[in-house]
């Protein structure tokens, strides 16, 4: 499969997250153009801070391939990875990362910082902007709907921390 097809699959994953009321981010890991793992953000549904799309996909790819070194793998993700996911990319030796939309608030492939420019023991190739508009539009619609729900006073799926 080509890059664009793989990113379309990542977008389908992001759509699944949106349907759950989750921030719509989706990820696909491929090896030699074949899908090895795919996942979407389930932080709210699973009530788990580690359940970002990329981290789940990396976990699944390690299980699928039976090893922690994903050095032949490429990651396609609709949103620029956060520090946790960028760190997991370094740790798993993923060779190439392709992402859609930039994340000005938490992105670690150039937006807030560029973790891959630091002297860690692995540095992936990074490409950005593939299906950026589609990825961004999905996120924008999600946050617009969230703001509407808040204005209308209906209970959003996001809960404030409890003491």
Of the residues 4, 19, 33, 83, which one makes contact with a second copy according to CB under 8 A: 83
3-state helix vs strand vs coil in the chain, percent to 5: 40, 20, 40
Binding of residue 96 to a second copy (CB under 8 A):
no
Residue closer to a second copy, measured from CB, 63 or 145? 63
- Tell me the site size for a second copy, rule CB under 8 A: 45
Q: In terms of DSSP H, where are the helices of 20-131?
A: 53-65, 83-92
In the complex, what is the shortest distance from the CB of residue 61 to a second copy, in angstroms, rounded to a whole number? 9
Residue closer to a second copy, measured from CB, 118 or 152? 118
Dihedral over alpha carbons 81, 85, 91, 92 (to 10 degrees): -80
In the complex, what is the shortest distance from the CB of residue 46 to a second copy, in angstroms, rounded to a whole number? 8
Cα separation, 58 vs 61, in Å, equals: 5
Residue reference for tokens 């798993």: 92
Cα separation, 131 vs 156, in Å, equals: 28
Binding of residue 15 to a second copy (CB under 8 A):
no
The residues that touch a second copy, with contacts defined as CB under 8 A, are 43-44, 47-52, 55, 58-59, 62-63, 66-72, 82-88, 90-93, 105-106, 108, 112-113, 115, 118-121, 159, 161-163
């Amino acid at each position: 499969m080509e890059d664009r097809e793989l990113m379309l699959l990542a977008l389908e994953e992001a759509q699944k997250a949106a349907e759950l009321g989750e921030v719509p981010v989706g990820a696909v890991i491929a090896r030699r153009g074949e899908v090895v793992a795919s996942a979407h953000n389930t932080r709210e549904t699973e009530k788990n801070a580690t359940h970002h799309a990329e981290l789940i996909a990396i976990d699944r790819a390690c299980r699928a391939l039976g090893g922690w070194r994903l050095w032949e793998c490429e990651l396609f993700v609709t949103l620029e990875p956060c520090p946790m996911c960028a760190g997991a990319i370094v740790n798993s030796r993923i060779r190439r990362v392709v992402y859609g939309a930039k994340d000005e608030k938490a992105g670690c492939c150039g937006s807030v910082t560029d973790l891959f420019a630091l002297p860690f023991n692995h540095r992936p190739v990074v490409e950005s902007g593939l299906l950026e508009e589609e990825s961004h539009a999905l996120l924008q619609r999600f946050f617009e709907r969230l703001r509407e729900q808040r204005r209308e006073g209906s209970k959003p799926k996001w809960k404030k921390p409890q003491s």
